[in-house]
Amino acid sequence: MTALFCAVVVAGVLWSSLFKDYPVDAPKQRLIISNGDTYTGLIDDLAHEGKVNFPIVLKLYQKFMIHDTLKAGVYEVRKGMSVRQVLDMISNIDNADMNRVQVIEGTTFKDLINSLRKNPLVKNEVSHLSNAEILKALDIPFDHPEGLFAPDTYFYDKGESDKTILLDLYKRQMRALDEAWENREENLPYKNKYEVLIMASIIEKETNVDSELAQVSGVFERRLKLGMRLQTDPTVIYGMGDRYKGNITRNDLRTMTPYNTYRINGLPPTPISLPSKKAIEAVLHPDNSDNIYFVATGKGGHKFTSNLADHNRAVQEYLAVIRSK
């Protein structure tokens, strides 16, 4: 009797966990798996949302029966599919319905190319070429690819070529730049749209707080107008290339490169990252304060100041926070 009772309990648990219908709100629904997602994270999220029961059972099933990892992509979950069927499906990239391509703002063209090369659902046509050869193959009239491709999350058919994807990202970036340029404020220190792209790429690297974009833009706009050097670390890092190992030394700040804005006047020769539409808009709509300095607070965000004395105090406050940690 006890054995029968235990068997019934086990069967009930399995039925309400593995064999329960996967929760969908329509006959068909997309399930997006991103690079870096894990079964554990997915199961925990579903359990937290009350969409699956007995998450430990699902994790044990994955560990002992699937023996594989999640595969990034877009999957079609049909109404009536069980949780077990979905867990099995997302371990095989061949089951993906579409290819999810994520281009992260502030990353570089090199990062973009590497991600396309590694994406098993992207057909390789140009990503193995040099930068100059890629631009020629895409018929893009620039000498340097940095900053020309719009960051965002996109969905493409499985097997779409890297050439088609890059062309799409380029057209999106140029369209965003054109639209922003048409609605720009007056009396900005930028001669053309490419200079806007350069500045947007710098702003993108300086802050990940959206509310600060216009403030950072304002600081750099006023510095350009005053003839002050930009003195921004991300440009130095970009100019260092593979020499950068995570830290900038005083010698790095003194070393002359075309991107060292501690040594050169004005803008560097090219963008240093892939800027978002928000960053482009911020360049053309800077804040109207009189701040010309900013420094990290050590607590998230930056402190903006209008004179050197206040800036130096803000630097000391930042150093005190860092020491306390």
CATH number at residue 29: 3.30.1490.480
* Residue 24, pLDDT score: 86
3-state SS, residue 261: coil
Q: Same structural domain for residues 256 and 235?
A: yes
Residue after which a domain boundary falls, among 50, 67, 95: 95
Residue 296 lies in a domain: yes
CA dihedral angle for residue 218, residue 222, residue 228, residue 233, rounded to 10 degrees: 10
Domain containing 38: what range?
A: 16-95
* Residue 26, pLDDT score: 86
Q: What is the pLDDT of residues 193-225, one digit of tens each?
A: 999 999 999 999 999 899 999 999 999 999 999
* Residue 231, pLDDT score: 95
Cα–Cα distance, 244 to 239 (Å, whole number)? 9
Q: Which residue has the higher pLDDT, 15 or 217?
A: 217
Q: Which residue has the higher pLDDT, 286 or 319?
A: 286
Query: What is the helix (H) or strand (E) element at residue 304, kind and residue range?
Result: strand 302-305
Q: Same structural domain for residues 194 and 307?
A: yes
Of 5-19, 23-37, 142-156, least confident by mean pLDDT is 5-19
Residue after which a domain boundary falls, among 49, 65, 95: 95
Cα–Cα distance, 216 to 241 (Å, whole number)? 24
* Residue 236, pLDDT score: 96
Residue 86 lies in a domain: yes
Q: Same structural domain for residues 158 and 279?
A: no
Q: Same structural domain for residues 47 and 113?
A: no
